[in-house]
Amino acid sequence: MRALIVEDEAMARENLTRMIHENFEDIEVCGNCSSTRGTIDWLERNKCDVIFMDVELSDGNCFEIFRKAKVDAHVIMTTAYDSYALKAFEVNSIDYLLKPVDVSALKRAVERCRQADERTDVAKVLAALNPAMASKRQYKERFLVRMNDRIVPINVGDVAFFFSENKSSYLMTFDKGKYILNPSLDELEADLDPDRFFRISRSFIVSKRCVQSVTKILGGRLRISSEPTTELEMEVSRSRVDDFLAWLEK
């Protein structure tokens, strides 16, 4: 099988490529695209058997791909969407993977593709995406950070956590890059997808992916062990403990 990965988050794209290489000897990742325009161009010149496709891409959502390109392949949607959108995929019998992708779920989706007699019905994908996109508020997908005289975009999927220190706001990426930001944490919180990020205290907003373990400490609070690590104490305020645990369990 020849696979195309359509994903605008570099870390998610690399992780999925690695998982495919490690678990499927007969699947060749023959292409990577990060935008709708790039995917449409790729499909005009190439063919594949399966497409792992993110819903939100760098220049919009994947609606345009299905509208403008001939998609003659099995399609496995990869998404961080909420339960409403996932139900839309299930009702229309569309394979999907919830990010971050789990190996067992990946194997199930690939096996369903192998057993399917026909390629993915594009009409069903569009029918599922219509209610999904309508119900999903558009949250911030990238931040522009300044590095000396350069401005660098950071995809929100590459952010492990946001924090405040000495009256300044920062973001920390999973590859341990630390960047200063202009908005306060209060302003940032309103722009972040609450399924992916949680305000644990006045000083921290954490991504679900960075939480490695949680320890109970005095005062009814929780201490988070994160990856990447931080020298600051990453603690969940007592008033937010129950909401945090419920969020972490989703």
Asked if 204 contacts 188 with a C-beta cutoff of 8 angstroms, the reply is: no
Same domain membership, residue 211 and residue 124: no
Tell me the pLDDT of the chain averaged across its residues: 89
Same domain membership, residue 37 and residue 94: yes
User: Using one digit for the tens of pLDDT, what is the confidence trace for 123-145?
Assistant: 888 887 776 665 555 688 899 99
Q: How many CB atoms lie within 10 A of CB 171?
A: 21
CATH of the domain at 198: 2.40.50.1020
Asked if 56 contacts 104 with a C-beta cutoff of 8 angstroms, the reply is: no
Same domain membership, residue 72 and residue 110: yes
Asked if 51 contacts 29 with a C-beta cutoff of 8 angstroms, the reply is: no
Dist CA 8 CA 65 (whole Å): 14
Q: What is the mean pLDDT of residues 188-197?
A: 88
User: Is a pLDDT exceeding 80 seen at residue 226?
Assistant: yes
Dist CA 226 CA 139 (whole Å): 24
Question: The tokens of 59 are what?
Answer: 């220049």
Residue 86 has what pLDDT? 72
Residue 224 has what pLDDT? 97
Which of 111, 135, 159 finishes a domain?
A: 135
Same domain membership, residue 126 and residue 191: no
Question: The tokens of 144 are what?
Answer: 């522009």
User: Using one digit for the tens of pLDDT, what is the confidence trace for 26-80?
Assistant: 999 999 999 999 999 999 999 999 999 998 887 778 888 988 898 999 999 988 7
Residues contacting 93, CB < 8 A, separation 6+:
124
Percent of the chain with pLDDT over 70: 94
Dist CA 245 CA 248 (whole Å): 5
Same domain membership, residue 85 and residue 46: yes
Asked if 113 contacts 94 with a C-beta cutoff of 8 angstroms, the reply is: no
What range does the domain containing 54 cover?
Answer: 2-135
Dist CA 2 CA 73 (whole Å): 10
Dist CA 64 CA 84 (whole Å): 22
Residue 131 has what pLDDT? 66
Same domain membership, residue 147 and residue 130: no
3-class state of residue 151 by DSSP? strand
> What region, left, alpha or beta, does residue 208 occupy, with left being phi > 0 and alpha being psi -120 to 50 degrees?
alpha
Residue 219 has what pLDDT? 86
Same domain membership, residue 154 and residue 91: no
Same domain membership, residue 119 and residue 8: yes
Dist CA 102 CA 91 (whole Å): 22
pLDDT-derived band at 15 (thresholds 50, 70, 90) equals very high
* Total domain count, the chain: 2
